[in-house]
Chain A
Amino acid sequence: MAPKRKKVEVEEEEARAQVEVEEEDEEEEELAFSRNYFLAKEVGSASGKRSAARKVSEINLVDDQLLRASLSELPTKHEKEIGSLLESYKGLYSNWLFELRCGFGLLMYGFGSKKALLEDFASSTLTSYTVVVINGYLASVNLKQVMTTIAEILWEHYKCKAKTSTGKKQQTQLPNGLKSVDDIVTFIVDISDDCNCSVCLLIHNIDGPALRDPDSQQHLARVSCCSCICLVASIDHVNAPLLWDKKMVYTQFKWSWHHVPTFVPYKVEGLFNPLILFSSGHVQTTKTALVVLQSLTPNAQSVFRVLAEFQLANEKEEGMHVSELYTKCREQFLVSSQVTLNAHLTEFKDHKLVKMRRHSDGQDCLHIPLPTNALEKLLQELV
């Protein structure tokens, strides 16, 4: 592709992504501040050379399905060596248990998935504990549900103990009546001293997306210093220690660090991460747009086509006026009223097929955020 053409494309893209520019500018600023002078210079030079730099689209990308299939069937390198590495950690299980009993929390770090290792440790060694596993790598983790489960486990033991003893604190609230996570955590802390059970909280990726916020970490820290609860956690992010302050580290979590690189692939942990050669480029965008459009009514598809054809015919225009679109659609009997058109447009906007933008003449206009070649391809496929 000629450099001129590329430049035009870059400009087009930048114009289209006006809405996102601001937040990206913030990122750039952050970058400039976070790195030193020389690196900032390097970024500058990199962006200067950008037009000459090679693009991802120049890689002969294979079909998405083939890529996914290959990824799922990827043989693990050094399977035997990884196996013996994991086997070597088995000798340390008893030391880990000893530290847990001494009141420390175990924090496992090092490259490679530690999920299988920790679950094996828990299954084989922590048999005297009730083990609750949290898959922190999932964004869907709901700490309230987890805390409720722990509260229920403790409550069961507490009730049994209360029955046998004099029945003190009978009036203590049941876990069902607790409303917020804070309440549940307080409840756990209150009854933990009177429970003669041991619960081990095994957290895969305590630095995971759902647990990264300060509130979640505070709750975990408060729970971890209960007498009947111990914590085994893993981290994978290099900056994970920044999640905790000194109070949490020394008086609540009481971490004992263990370096256990496993080199086991992060298959489950990376399941929801977008693939770098998959999500980038316009191939994916076109495909997604096509899937969405095909699920709409033929009329809606035609309305989109009108808009797309206008955009292809008037590349230099900022977008199509809504009134103009309405007139054209009405002429082709695609819509009967402005309301119908608006319904279609809402659908498009919801799926990010169309963006609303302020025209230089002050009116709102519609615009499809796809490059010309992608749009052409989309129209070809949308038969």
Chain B
Amino acid sequence: MAKHQTSPQSASSQGANSQDANHTLEPFFILHKAQPQATVVEKVSKSRKGRKKGIESSPKSPEKSKRTTSDEQPSNTLYEQWWFKAFNEIWSLIQSSIEGVLRDINLKLFNEVLQWIEDSFSEIKSNVKLSSSEILQPYPLLADTLCRKIPTAFVLTKNAEFVDDIQTFCDLGSHLKANRCHVANMSALDFSLKFGIGGSVRSLLRQLHSEPLDGKIADMLTLAKWYCEEEKNDKPIVVMIDDMECCNADVLGNFITMLSEWVMKIPIFFIMGVATTIEAPKNMLPSDALQHLNPSKLTLGTPSDRMNSLVESVLVEVCYCFSLGHEVSVFLRNYFLRHDGTITSFISALKLACSKHFSLESVSFLGLYMLDQDSEERWSEKFVYLPESMKRCVLNLHSCKSEKNLQGGVGSIVQQLSDLKASQRFWSSVVLCLFEVARYSKMQFLDIFCEATDPKMYCMNGSENSLKKHFRCGDKNSTARSSSGVGSITRVIHTIREMPVAALSNLLDKWNNHTEEMTEINEEVKKLQSVLASVDEGKVYEENLHNIRNRKSVSVISGKRNSANEKVAMLLDAMIRKYMKPLECMTLHEIICFRDVDVLQSGLIGDPRKTIQLDLLKCHSYLSCSCFSSDAKNLSPSMHDTSIMYKLAQEFGDVINLYEWYQSFKTVLTSSSQTSRKRGRPSPASKKAKPLPPSETEALIQARFCGAVTELQISGLLRMPTKRRPDFIQRIAFGL
């Protein structure tokens, strides 16, 4: 029975299989040890054979001859290195940008926490001065008449999903460590009933000690000894618990009570993340533990604020080396809004998109040079050594097919690439201008981003007639203001029309910075700034009039103001039309633009519940065999047994009568084989079948039935019969 499962594909390597056969029943084994890199490279290149279009032939590049000595298909390995290098560099740029954004957004809170710790610590130090021997003295302490309360900061995370805040707490920990604090970053796992308070203390010590405990007893005295060591006792100890509500209340309560006994000797601070309300600790912790806490409240930023900052810095500012197509952007927006609303899931989706882009697009590595100042030179150098096949890859890109200029050679490709880079810079400048308005009106940046990447919108803008149609909603006389019917960009333009002078002036200041590269627009911005300055002078007068509530008399000045607003709106409109060309409308955009939304979706969301059922119901689409061609919907004996069984199971309700199921299965296997014989087109299974005695035929059918039921059980689609109801099997999954 312990026969190893051999697939046809692996059947060729019988030697390996016989060895594997021994391993199938071993709980674990080492398949092989790492081989030296040289042999690895060769093997990998063989496995990649024929993966990508146009890169089968080996390039005759000088780089290749340097890297490998053999001429045997080394190209793919070389390309792999390029792709991986490009991914690594670009992703590390994006990642550092993400980290920077998240750190900046939390910096205010971090400094608040630090200030709170420093104040409390200096207060404790001024009240209690203990020598090492006093600290190490067993409890009770003479000075212990003071209230034993641990200063505790409850950080409201405002986020039902905790996963986003893990990184925030890590960053807070690093920030505090860098500012003279001992930090222990603990989680709910350290406060489980399984390990009890011993586990909590051990974890605390392990984090504080830079070295392993080496069999030391994990108790408070060990902590006290450690704290008495030189250069350690002048810093506070900060214990951070990121998801306080997930901890076991009793264990945490005991931990607090125990630390409170020592708080006069060892200055301990708690920082606890609370996902719900400030009432949560009161409801959760036992009262004796609660009385040892001296609470204060701090609040984190909301996920949507963080998302806005991320979109701005990652998707727009770094967009010239890797960007997302419109469909992917819309998918990611929906994934964020409808899936779980966490930044973490968004970032992991972005990373997957980035890796898919570099692994699937053969010329994606060219995007790396977008980062360089001297991109054109780098591309020219690269193209000299680039093999013909790869150059063909560039020319075969979908966006290049209609572009006749590109046939001119390397020069024209490089020119197009630098145009692409410049266009992306302009695009990002305009989008940043849009974001400035959105920031004022508290709109979601992601919505604007999605609209700004939409090539259809640009095509509409391109024709003058449709342009008016598109922006009609943005017209000041329009009453259609519902968010559902109006696009985000249109709403941005609306917002400008209603902005007060001061805000408009601030906006223009920021635009001035963003539009530095677009000289024509920059000049217009400056002109408008001077216009607004003149309006500003009348502002005080206007405000006085406003108090009198004589609207008619204001109209002169507000009319002037409105005309300024209108001019700003028109300027933005012009900027959008001229410079906000979505990436997908550009030639060679495939090099930096990831557009394959299906690939991303399938990599991100597996949905095995639906997919495994579909596999069984549509096995003919995977196993393209001639026997399915006649009528895929009808059950034929040559079909996969489990597939037949699952299709038959669809006809039953919540429970399946085993007898009836078996009889239906038997009917499919026997009667249909007779019909196929009549038709004279035997299935692969019946070809091999020799006439068997009835008992053996029955045994074969029963064996197939048993095997299929087992497979369905492994897939989790069935629940085996209970002793009370031995003749029925329960179905688990219903519908897709």
Contact = CB atoms under 8 A, between A and B. Distances in A.
Contacts of B342: 246, 250
A258 B603 contact: yes
Contacts of B352: 104, 256
Contact of A142 (B27, B606, B727, B732): B27
A257 B604 contact: yes
Interface in A179-199: 186, 190, 197-198
Interface residues of A, number: 135
Nearest to B627: A78
A259 B16 contact: no
A261 interface: yes
A81 interface: yes
* Residue in B6, B611, B714 whose Cβ sees the most chain A Cβ within 10 Å: B714
A241 B309 CA distance: 31
Interface string A116-133: 110110111101111111
Contacts of A67: 699, 702-703, 706
Interface string B148-181: 0000000000000111001100000000000000
Interface in B632-682: 638-642, 653-655, 657-660, 662
A316 interface: no
Contacts of A75: 685, 688
A235 interface: yes
Given A94-B80, A236-B715, A246-B345, A130 B611 contact: no
B34 interface: yes
Nearest to B6: A116
A47 B728 CA distance: 10
A127 B40 contact: yes
B730 interface: yes
Nearest to B660: A54
B540 interface: no
Give the size category of B's interface with A. 35 or more
Contacts of A130: 30, 32-34
B161 A246 contact: yes
Nearest to B603: A256
A247 B359 contact: no
Contacts of A289: none
B706 A278 contact: yes
A240 interface: yes
Contact of A270 (B50, B696, B711): B711
B711 A238 contact: no
A245 to B, nearest CB: 8
Contacts of A261: 612, 615, 622
Given A95-B359, A111-B612, A83 B7 contact: yes
A306 to B, nearest CB: 27
* Residue in B4, B37, B613, B710 whose Cβ sees the most chain A Cβ within 10 Å: B710
A270 B700 contact: no
Interface string A98-126: 11011110010111110111011011110
Contacts of A53: 657, 659, 727-728
B611 A186 contact: no
A135 B24 contact: yes
A26 B87 CA distance: 53
Contact of B28 (A71, A133, A256): A133
A3 B209 CA distance: 75
B594 interface: no
Interface string A335-351: 00000000000000000
Contacts of B2: 271
B695 interface: yes
Contact of A257 (B3, B605, B721): B605
B16 A123 contact: yes
Interface stretch (B41-49, B288-296, B497-505): B41-49
Given A98-B359, A128-B37, A277-B706, A266 B47 contact: no
Contacts of B725: 47, 50
Contacts of B716: 236-240
B479 to A, nearest CB: 43
Interface of A: 13-14, 17, 20-21, 24, 27, 31, 35, 39, 42-43, 46-47, 50, 53-56, 58-63, 66-72, 74-75, 77-83, 85-87, 90-91, 93-95, 97-99, 101-104, 107, 109-113, 115-117, 119-120, 122-125, 127-135, 138, 140-142, 145-146, 149, 153, 171-173, 186, 190, 197-198, 202, 210, 218, 235-241, 245-247, 250-251, 254-259, 261-271, 273-278, 280-281
